[in-house]
Amino acid sequence: MTTTGPIRSICCIGAGYVGGPTMAVIADRCPHIQVTVVDLNAERIAAWNHDDLARLPVYEPGLDAVVGRARGRNLHFTTAVDDAIAGADMIFLSVNTPTKTRGVGAGQASDLRWIEASARQVAAAANGHTIVVEKSTLPVRTAEAVKTILSAAQGTAGGTKTFSVLSNPEFLAEGSAIGDLENPDRVLIGGEDETAIESLASVYGQWVSQERILRTNLWSSELSKLTANAFLAQRISSINGIAALCEATGADVREVGRAIGTDSRIGSKFLQAGPGFGGSCFQKDILNLVYLCRHYGLEQVASYWESVVGLNTWQQQRIARLVVNNLFGTVSGKRIAILGFAFKADTNDTREAPAISICRDLIEEGAQLAIVDPKVGDQQITLDLGRPPVDPATAARGVPLGGDGTWIPAESVVEAARGADAVLILTEWQEYRHLDWGAIAAVMRQPAWLFDARAVADAEAARAAGLNVWRVGEG
Ligand code: NAD
Ligand code: UGA
């Protein structure tokens, strides 16, 4: 155990969806601590420093106000990684940990190259005693590798360089990140060095009650994060599977959800059927769990969790297929309005968004998509679909029957729907709950469809406006 005084200075490596908001809230709640967020990506850092708080690189309700209060006072964003490491008592590693795309474990295991690189940077640049906190989601036992890298530097610099490693996974959800950080269900701290654990607990203790700060060993903490995401994703695959059965049998998944959700053992949250889960983490974390289970010889456990991802992929494909089937078996040359591209409402994040695979499938079938999303721009959609939009003038002339599918950005829902045979809702943005279906139906080609993969639209109003309506989970 190492003695540590109160934390005065924090550095966070990684200014992404987790590092940025998490550190902004810590700085806001702990004005006595200097918090510096560093990133190699200079463009991202410049965006965090932008005068116009509406142009921060992460869109999260309430984030602008928190950053506005703390930035320049005790919250700093910089690319000077080594300086920030050298000046810190505590360093959070909040770098990306995507699925490996090649080599051993490709497609399942986490790619730990950014964690390793940042641990090496900490080993080289740190001064005195430093608490290193794993904030990224990591395979169980990664702390061992981090400790090994750091221990190679331990005792250097005149014998003063020492480290303690903690695991402190993040449970925030995008779109509600500020609320989740300000009022978390729990904060989890895993470690062996009790002084370090209490130092981190005292940071959170500025605004989180002690009963909500859970202390575990390192491996339980690392594994709890993967397990929490696997359980949450499993609920979505479960309800999406039941939604398909509801559609086939005349049941309604919302009624079934309400009926089972009132059982306090099941609970009412996370029972919304939809186009499948997206986001950067659920799939990658389950696949990582699957990889770990196989590594430890637990084949049945691995295939159990793998099926959660399999059902999710099936749900996305099923929605693209049913759109095609209902439009007389072909969407070639037909316009389809896509409402929502983000993986969920209240975020500009599109990582693993169900919209990506569904739009790709429809484009493959020859559809001409008009895509609108309140927070996702054309550039991001171009990257995600792997193709630029066509010139709207060309699109207005229509694509030749049987021609290649295309997409165009649309300024508004009505513009997207103009001349369309169908509207497909893929993100549950609040504004899609109150659309003027009379105005939308009036600009569509009849017979026209509303496919509501989020069950958020006013289906009665859409039917009254003359549209055929399909809602996920409604038999
Ligand atoms: P992100 O890709 O948005 O951000 C990671 C940042 O780290 C990038 O900006 C990258 O440039 C930077 N980076 C990588 N290596 C670096 C280095 N050596 N030095 C400086 N900067 C470096 O990722 P994210 O969504 O913030 O996720 C980070 C981690 O948190 C992941 O492990 C993820 O699984 C986990 N997590 C994410 C969420 C979420 O909602 N996005 C929630 C909980 C946990
Ligand atoms: C999720 C977890 O909720 C967080 O606790 C975790 O920290 C985070 O992953 C992470 O590790 O990255 P996030 O992916 O941001 O957060 O958002 P969720 O609200 O969990 O939604 C994930 C996906 O599931 C979205 O596509 C959402 O639309 C979908 N979903 C969610 C449903 O289809 N139905 C539901 O009932 C709930």
The pLDDT tens digits for 282-296 are: 999 999 999 999 999
* Alpha helices (runs of H) in 250-298, residue ranges in sequence order: 253-261, 282-295
How many angstroms does the Cα of residue 159 sit away from the middle of ligand 1? Answer: 32
* Contact yes or no for 446/419 (Cβ under 8 A): no
Which member of 12, 30, 281, 359 is catalytic?
281
In the chain, what are the helix, strand and coil shares in percent, each to the nearest 5?
45, 15, 40
The CATH code of domain 218-475 reads 3.40.50.720
Q: Which residue's entry shows tokens 């007389």?
A: 328
Q: Mean pLDDT, to the nearest integer, of 350-364? A: 98
For the ranges 146-160, 298-312, 452-466, the lowest mean pLDDT is seen at 146-160
Q: Mean pLDDT, to the nearest integer, of 374-401? A: 83
Q: Is 271 in the pocket of ligand 2 (CB under 6 A)?
A: yes
Closest-lying ligand to the alpha carbon of 235?
2
Q: Which fold has domain 9-216?
A: Rossmann fold (3.40.50)
Strands (E), 366-461: 368-372, 406-409, 422-425, 449-452
What pLDDT is recorded for position 1?
Answer: 44
To the nearest whole percent, how much of the chain has pLDDT over 90? 94
Fold match flag (9-216 vs 218-475): yes
Confidence label for 397 from pLDDT (cuts 50, 70 and 90): low
DSSP letter string, 315-381: HHHHHHHHHHHHTTT--TT-EEEEE--SSSTT----TT-HHHHHHHHHHHTT-EEEEE-SS--HHHH
Q: Mean pLDDT, to the nearest integer, of 152-179? A: 91
- Give me the residue spans of the domains in the chain: 9-216, 218-475
pLDDT at 104 over 50: yes
* Contact yes or no for 168/190 (Cβ under 8 A): yes
What pLDDT is recorded for position 230?
Answer: 98
What pLDDT is recorded for position 402?
Answer: 52
Q: In a mutational test of the pocket of ligand 2, which residue from 174, 239, 373 has the highest number of ligand atoms less than 8 Å from its CB?
A: 174
The pLDDT tens digits for 8-47 are: 999 999 999 999 999 999 999 999 999 999 999 999 999 9
**Burial letters for 44-72: b for 16+ Cβ neighbours within 10 Å, e otherwise?**
bbebbeeeeeeebbbbbebbbebbeebbe
How many angstroms does the Cα of residue 270 sit away from the middle of ligand 2? Answer: 8
Which sign does the torsion angle of CA 357, 362, 367, 373 carry?
negative
The pLDDT tens digits for 249-263 are: 999 999 999 999 999
Q: Is 281 in the pocket of ligand 1 (CB under 6 A)?
A: yes
Task: Give the distance from CA 190 to its chain's centroid.
Answer: 23
What pLDDT is recorded for position 154?
Answer: 84
What pLDDT is recorded for position 228?
Answer: 98
CA distance 415 to 443: 9
Q: Is 114 in the pocket of ligand 1 (CB under 6 A)?
A: yes
What pLDDT is recorded for position 391?
Answer: 82
pLDDT at 79 over 60: yes
To the nearest whole percent, how much of the chain has pLDDT over 70? 97
The pLDDT tens digits for 207-264 are: 999 999 999 999 999 999 999 999 999 999 999 999 999 999 999 999 999 999 999 9
CA distance 71 to 63: 11
**Residue 313 half-sphere exposure, CB side, CA atoms within 13 Å?**
6
Closest to 396 (Cα-Cα) out of 355, 335, 347: 335
What pLDDT is recorded for position 155?
Answer: 73
What pLDDT is recorded for position 400?
Answer: 53
Burial of 79 by CB count in 10 Å (0-12 exposed, 13-18 middle, 19+ buried)? middle
CA distance 413 to 370: 9
Q: Is 281 tagged catalytic?
A: yes
